[in-house]
Structure 1
Amino acid sequence: MNTLKKIKILILIGMLGIMINCNRDEDSVLQKFLGEYTVNDSCGYTNTTYIMNIKEKNENQNELYLDNFGGYGATIVAKVSSDNPDKLTIDSYADNLHIVGEGTINNERTQIVFTYDTSNNGMSVHCSSIAKK
């Protein structure tokens, strides 16, 4: 009977461990993107470095806020791709600019590489940036 109690306790501990791991915040699709990043940005012939913060907008819609995207104080909305949870898609407007592009986070979750285009009044500029936590 003593051995049976030990087996039951071990099974209970294992089940509790599984339940706890199922509800971890890091399992959220958005969690890996959240935080403060130092960004090196290249748009056309201009290179800038700035700080960007990524915050949750709407977990049900897999949406994030990218604060100070582009380095001029704008906040845009990005969405985690349903096809690839390591990829952000951007199709947003900020300060009369239409911003369309994507970003991919690395396996270590420390860097996002963005490629995007900004357009206004028929003029478009291609940009790329590396954002590091």
Structure 2
Amino acid sequence: MASIFTKIIKREIPAHIVAEDENYIAFLDIMPLVKGHVLVVPKKEVDYIFDLEDEMLSGLNIFAKKVAKGVDKAIKCTRVGVAVIGLEVPHVHIHLVPLNTMDDINFTRPKLTLNDQELADIAARIKAEL
């Protein structure tokens, strides 16, 4: 069965996409830790990041770097943090989280609830910086 991320890639469910190329896609997390929390995903559905082929893994990180620079310009933050957890969705993904404190990347804290317009506005700001 296709992961939720594969469904986003195939446009079967909506997402606030901030960047995309032939191999990777980046979109806003709909239950973010902070505003501007982005998920970077390879289009090839692989469950575990270290099962990616070397070229795909390096490409994912280079794509994430580009997106992180856009997030850093669009969202007021000290820096953009990176996390790979991989337990919640069986499809490789990198979390890019704007940080002002260490707690901003604490995945046990309550997530934000943003409406569709807020997410669209954040996505537009990030896209404008890429």
TM-score, normalising length: structure 1? 0.33
- Which has the larger share of strand? 1
Higher Rg: 1
- Which has the larger share of helix? 2
TM-score, normalising length: structure 2? 0.34
